Amino acid sequence: MAVLSAKLASAALAFILVAASLGLIEAREAGIGIGIEIGARGKPRQREFDYFNLALQWPGTYCQRTRHCCSSNACCRGSNSPSVFTIHGLWPDYNDGTWPACCTRKHFDEKEISTLLDPLEKYWPSLSCGNPSSCHEKHGTCSAPVTGDEYNYFLTTLNVYFKYNVTKVLNEAGYVPSNTEKYPLGGIVSAIQNAFHATPKLACRNGAVEELHICFYKDFKPRDCVVGSSSSSDVLSSSNSCPNYISLPAYASLGAGNAESKISWVPDDVL
């Protein structure tokens, strides 16, 4: 009898393991301590993110990469080319420096955000002629536990962008676009800290600001992008691609002659 009970117990455990691997049950519910959740196709589910990272691009630096124009490239809009920080994405991140991606199989549907296309084309433009990012670089679907569906994700991002207006903060502090001036990195960081009570992160290219990141808790209250930062040296080391004095170059549009053309908005690295 004991032998039969042992065989039944062994068979039951085997069934639990097989069922978990096929996605019929979650391993943690089976009580066997595997420590991961098995998805519908037997793949581990990504855990929910820790915070939001609002990534902004400076067109004056980024558009210097442009070697040719296309209808989707906002760098080629002539007088309508962007002259403020624009949105690169609202990214869900983990505190350990990694991030989730492609959390659902949902595809981007422009019809769902048709009423938002005008501000998206202006404040969230593509600054290149490249193809849409691959699945591994798309983060928007992983924001769903907080932002909800596609429409609310884009609306939320626009609202956060407008509320925490980095361009306005820097201009009011005297940091304006210039092809001759150099500004102290510490001064730009301090201007953001004073306005939002949180520490940003910057990325530079050839001594010019290319990206600026503002981070938020899940309730969209600002938080430090540098986890555990407590000194100015921590803050500046988080922007280690930037020298001590940096520029905010003014951008002279390439003007491809298609500035007024109506194009379909293409999301850049979001879903």
Q: List CB contacts of 8: < 8 A, sequence separation 6 or more.
A: none
71-92: pLDDT as tens digits: 788 888 877 888 999 999 999 9
Q: How far apart are CA 258 and CA 77, in angstroms?
A: 6
8-58: pLDDT as tens digits: 444 443 433 333 333 333 332 333 322 223 334 445 567 889 999 999 999
Q: How far apart are CA 45 and CA 136, in angstroms?
A: 15
Confidence of residue 126 (pLDDT cuts 50, 70, 90): confident
**Among the listed residues 38, 32, 49, 45, the one whose alpha carbon sits nearest the alpha carbon of residue 90:** 49
pTM of the full structure: 0.75
Q: What is the pLDDT of residue 252?
A: 65
210-261: pLDDT as tens digits: 999 999 999 999 999 976 544 455 555 456 789 999 999 997 656 554 444 4
